[in-house]
Amino acid sequence: MTNLALITGASRGLGAAMAEYLALRGWHVVAVARTTGGLEELDDRVRSHKLPGAGELTLAPMDVTNDDAMRHLCLSIHQRWGGLNLWVHTAIHAAPLTPATSLDVKDWDKSIAINIRATGQLIPMVEPLLRAAKGTALFLDDPRAGQKFFGAYGACKAAQMALARSWAAESARIGPRVLIATPAPMPTATRARFFPGEDRSLLASPRDEAERLLDLI
């Protein structure tokens, strides 16, 4: 039976690298992202390898904050496959760095919607699918809480990890397995917004980090 993975935030960066890594190793990957072009580029990269035994991608261009769309997707996964072996949640909104006294309301609301609310809504949607297949959920930490100018991102990321850690504690005996890992710094678009001008050649590649983190599972 083919392993099935759901990756939310799969159009670029680490999410895309993980989707590509899994697909090339025989997994069927349901790749979710708002950016249709990014998903299509991911699909093109996987197809270009043409490796025997490679898996497949199901592209799902949708917004993780759309409860109805995500609920329908989870129902479709249940009806087609019955369960889910892996959920990797990489969807994130990286609000621009700004003093806490100058938070932009639109960016603040978007950060809460994507980084906190969507996570809290997705956990109960995905949990039955993971439980059915004795699967694993993987969340990715980026501890910035309390650092200057990281008010919006740091607070929302900390809240997201608090949700994940509570779920991990609650499911420790009964499943599913919930893991939290901290990736090495990578030359992603998110990091470029935070650290413009840094020497990106010194950063870990998303492909290498995808392999390292997925080896934990």
Domains in the chain, number? 1
Banded model confidence at residue 55, pLDDT cuts 50, 70, 90: confident
Residue 112: the pLDDT is 97
**DSSP 8-state class, residue 64:** T
- Average pLDDT of span 99-128: 97
Question: What's the residue count for the chain?
Answer: 217
Over residues 112-128, mean pLDDT: 98
Segment 186-207, tens digit of pLDDT: 999 889 889 998 999 999 999 9
CB 207 within 8 A of CB 23: no
What integer pLDDT is reported at residue 190 of this predicted model? 87
pLDDT tens track for 127-183:
999 999 999 999 999 999 999 999 999 999 999 999 999 999 999 999 999 999 999
Residue with tokens 């990281």: 150
Per residue in 2-45, pLDDT (tens digit) is 899 999 999 999 999 999 999 999 999 999 999 999 999 999 99
CATH for 75: 3.40.50.720
What is residue 177's predicted lDDT score, i.e. its pLDDT?
Answer: 97
The two tokens of residue 79 are: 């009806």
Q: In whole numbers, what is the pLDDT of the chain averaged over residues? A: 94
Residue 52 has pLDDT above 80, yes or no: no
pLDDT of residue 150: 95
Domain that holds residue 200: 4-214
List, edge to edge, every strand of the sheet that includes 4-8.
56-61, 28-33, 4-8, 86-89, 136-140, 177-181
- What does the angle CA 157 – CA 158 – CA 163 come to, to the nearest 5 degrees? 95
SS3 210: helix
- Is residue 51 over pLDDT 80? no
Residue 28, H or E segment: strand 28-33
Residue 53 has pLDDT above 80, yes or no: no
Instruction: State the greatest distance between any 2 C-alpha atoms of the chain, in Å, as a whole number.
Output: 55
Distance of CA 32 to the CA centre of its chain: 9
